[in-house]
Amino acid sequence: MNLRQSFKMSMQSLMSNKGRAFLTMLGIIIGVAAVMIMVSVVQGQNKAMKEYYEAQGTNKITISASTYNGMDLTEDIYKFCLSLSDYVSGVTPNGMAYVNSVKYMSANTQNNQNMGSPNIYLGSDQFSICNNYKLAQGRDLSYLDIKRYNKVIVLGSKLKEYLFQAQNPIGKYVSLDSQYFKVVGVYAPIGGDSNSEMATSYDYLNYVGVIPYSTSRFLSRGYSSFSDFTVKAKNSESVTMAITQINGFLSGKINQNNGYFYVNSPDTWQQESNKQNTMMSLVLGGIAGISLLVGGIGIMNIMLVTVTERTREIGIRKAIGGSRRSIITQFLIEACVLCGVGGFLGVVIGFLGTVIAGKLLMKMFLLPSLPMTLGAVAFSVLMGVGFGMYPAVKASGLQPVEALRAD
């Protein structure tokens, strides 16, 4: 008997017991679909986290430093970080101007029910470098703006769009509560085109304005001093060296009994997050793999039942000269077809489930990777070989005389 005949007989056997075949395949279908959905969701989460960190900017260092006597460390930290020109590209204080509204003529952010109040940051002339912003119009904040307390502002793309729509905002004045700031620049959208689906999740990064940190004195709830800073390292290799240098500087500047300081890189948290997500992927994949194992045991069980039902047929084949090899091949093909069809249906359900899970859980379009899809189908077929081997060997080992006596 050739392989074509064996495959044809396997399909006939499955079609003659459709209900039993489907129930047998159910464990494989659920297992393959569960593995694909779970692993794809974790991979999607990894992708989303990576995009988030990239939008925030890589190679960043955060500094938190303060003294209990209220000494202002802003200038000292600013100058020292800039002196590390071999390792550092920029430094900026991290501060927020707590304003109730930003207005331009009739446009008022208090009326923006979708976005609420924008984030108005107090930054240095290197704010855009440290936070991954690029200019689309006008100019950025300058060192003289900081020194001269110039009341100027650079708008994020979403805030510019809300206040000015299609107008050119450069040179116009917006009101931050009762204080007027001149618009000198507009940042390009973070996350791509501001109208794209991807950019929607980054609206909070684009619905912003940046003013010189020295102008906080003009605001009713401005900062008298800053304790949080962001430093941009030149590359990933420079991060560790810059952290070491800054730690050494602050340890000589701040007495531990009279203050505190903390220096770290968000890249460390990203690496830890990736490790946790990888571990979660392995755990979830293992749990789903148990379902595949249960499905494989079901395949073995039904193949043993099939051997019992077809004992007489096996006896006739052996009596007329059928070899053990042909019988093993016949039953292995049946088991592989059973698992292969179940794996294919599991892939289809896995694709649909991944798309639905991505939209519902993560608000993004997810698809399983091609290697994982091919691997799922190949693994299901291998399960057919593994779990079908014992019933096939048992069938081939039957004695013709005993098999022919079976009812």
Contact 159, 118 (CB under 8 A): yes
The verdict on 211 and 258 lying in the same domain is yes
Residues 6+ apart with CB under 8 A from 238: 59, 86, 87, 88
Give the pLDDT score at 238.
81
What pLDDT band is residue 404 in, cutting at 50, 70 and 90?
low
CA–CA gap between residue 222 and residue 179 (Å, rounded): 12
Both 131 and 244 in a single domain? Answer: yes
70 phi and psi angles, rounded to 5 deg: 80, 15
Instruction: Please identify which residue in the block is written with the tokens 């051997």.
Output: 307
Residue 373: what pLDDT?
80
Name residue 259's beta-bridge partners: 67
Instruction: Write the pLDDT tens digit of every residue in 180-236.
Output: 999 999 999 987 554 444 445 578 889 999 999 989 888 866 566 788 888 888 877
Three-class DSSP category at 180: strand
Rounded to an integer, what distance in angstroms lies between the CA atom of residue 69 and that of residue 217? 20
User: According to the model, what pLDDT value does residue 397 have?
Assistant: 73
As a whole number of angstroms, the distance between CA 290 and CA 31 comes to 8
Sheet containing 88-93, strands listed edge to edge, beginning at the edge strand earlier in sequence: 88-93, 228-233, 60-67, 259-264
Q: How many domains does the chain contain in total? A: 2
Look at the chain and count its residues.
Answer: 407
pLDDT tens for 114-142 read 778 888 999 999 999 888 889 999 999 99
| β-strand partners of 95 | 122
CA–CA dist 83, 61 (Å, integer): 16
The stretches of 193-265 forming alpha helices (DSSP H) are 197-200, 203-206, 236-253
Domain identity same for 323 and 228: no
pLDDT tens column, 362-396 = 777 888 878 878 877 787 778 777 877 877 777 77
Integer CA distances (angstroms), 348 to 41, 118, 293, 336, in order: 16, 44, 20, 18
* The predicted structure's pLDDT at residue 210: 94
What pLDDT is attached to residue 311? 72
Would you tell me the crossing angle of helices 3-16 and 18-56 to the nearest 10 degrees? 100
Q: Among 249, 266, 283, where does a domain finish?
A: 266
Angle at 100 between CA 168 and CA 166, to 5 degrees: 15
**Same structural domain, 30 and 118:** no
Q: Are residues 296 and 373 in the same domain?
A: yes
pLDDT at 161: 92
Residues 6+ apart with CB under 8 A from 265: 59, 60, 61, 62, 233, 239, 243
The burial class, CB within 10 Å (0-12 / 13-18 / 19+), for 46 is middle
Predicted local distance difference test score (pLDDT) of residue 6: 67
Phi, psi dihedrals of residue 180, rounded to the nearest 5°: -100, 130
pLDDT by residue (tens digit) across 241-254? 888 889 888 888 88
Residues 236 and 108 grouped into a single domain? yes
Clarify whether residues 161 and 119 are in a common domain: yes
Whether residues 232 and 279 share a domain: the answer is: no
- What is the reported pLDDT for 156? 93
Average pLDDT of the residues of the chain: 80
Contacts of 66 (CB under 8 A, 6+ apart): 73, 227, 259, 260, 261
pLDDT score of 3: 67
Average pLDDT, integer, range 60-84: 84
- Evaluate if residue 406 carries a pLDDT over 60: no
- Cβ–Cβ under 8 Å, residues 261 and 64: yes
Rounded to whole angstroms, the Cα distance separating 29 from 37 reads 12
Q: Do strands 60-67 and 152-155 pair parallel, antiparallel, or not at all (unpaired)?
A: unpaired
How far apart (Å, rounded) are the C-alpha atoms in residues 10 and 200? 52
Q: pLDDT, tens digit, for every residue of 293-334?
A: 777 787 788 778 777 777 777 777 777 776 777 777 777 888
Q: Which helix (H) or strand (E) holds 60?
A: strand 60-67
Domain containing residue 246:
58-266
Distance CA 178, CA 267 (A): 39
pLDDT, position 390: 77
Averaged pLDDT for residues 399-406 = 62
Q: Where are the alpha helices (H) located in 151-235, listed in sequence order? A: 157-164, 197-200, 203-206
Compute the distance between CA of residue 265 and CA of residue 406 in angstroms, rounded to an integer.
Answer: 74
Are 39 and 162 in the same domain? no
Of the residues 266, 285, 316, which one is the last residue of a structural domain? Answer: 266
* 171 pLDDT higher than 80: yes
Given this model, what pLDDT does residue 164 score? Answer: 92
- For residue 38, how far is the Cα from the chain centroid? 13
Q: Check if the beta carbon of residue 172 is closer than 8 Å to that of residue 221.
A: no
| Domain match, 107 and 243 both | yes
Q: Are residues 276 and 262 in the same domain?
A: no
Last residue of a domain, one of 215, 248, 266: 266
Least confident of 14-18, 22-26, 190-194: 190-194
Is the domain of 149 the same as that of 182?
yes
The confidence score (pLDDT) of residue 198 equals 45
Q: What is the enclosing helix (H) or strand (E) of 75?
A: helix 74-83
